[in-house]
Amino acid sequence: MRTVIYPGSFDPLTNGHLDLIERAARLFDRVIVAVAENDAKQPLFTLEERRRLVECSTRGLPHVRVDTFEGLLVEYVVRQKGQAIIRGLRAVSDFEFEFQLALMNRKLCEKVETLFMMPKDTYTFLSSRVVKEISRLGGDVSPFVPPAVRKALRSKLRGRRHPTPGGSVWH
Ligand code: ADP
């Protein structure tokens, strides 16, 4: 039984994440999408909301399970009897951070491998951050996220159509 863990904040899940989940599900017996607590990132959605959105968007995919975790990822992977971690690479800009993370995880636990996957080319520009920004500014995010996420974004951001204090990606 080959198990792979796909960890992330998923704040919220996008079609890019979903593309990777589907690819991984074709290669492994079991894919666990592990939604990280990660308070440092001040997520828009709570952990439970993020977990539920992944769950209802992956319902049709056999062998895919959704879970939440906190603490060290490699320890979580070992507890789940997983062999590998999946991470996504969209562009060179992802590489440096992902490379550091993968090598650190290897130092922490030699037997857990990190595998990188590329999404379909039309999703390489997609990120949760950009999706939240478009939604906040009243744009249509339906080409970029599953229907449940579009609805959740709309109700979460209703009445707060203002860029975040950190500035908008559009100006
Ligand atoms: P993080 O785990 O860094 O908080 P995310 O939850 O956004 O980030 O993403 C989890 C993983 O999915 C990361 O490896 C990230 O590079 C990857 N990822 C994010 N968006 C996409 C996308 N559009 N296509 C492929 N991989 C992606």
Counting atoms of ligand 1 from 1, which one is nearest the CA of 15?
23
Q: What is the pTM of this model?
A: 0.91
Residue 129 near residue 169 (C-beta atoms within 8 A): yes
Distance from the CA of 16 to the center of ligand 1, in angstroms? 8
Does the beta carbon of 123 lie inside 6 Å of ligand 1?
yes
78-96 per-position pLDDT tens digit: 999 999 999 999 988 889 9
* Closest residue by Cα to residue 54 from 14, 5, 2, 4: 14
Q: Is the pLDDT of residue 58 over 50?
A: yes
Distance, in Å, from the CA atom of 31 to the CA atom of 19, rounded to the nearest integer, reads: 13
Residue 13 near residue 75 (C-beta atoms within 8 A): no
Which amino acids are annotated catalytic?
Answer: 17, 41, 90, 128
Does the beta carbon of 43 lie inside 6 Å of ligand 1?
no
36-48 per-position pLDDT tens digit: 997 777 999 999 9
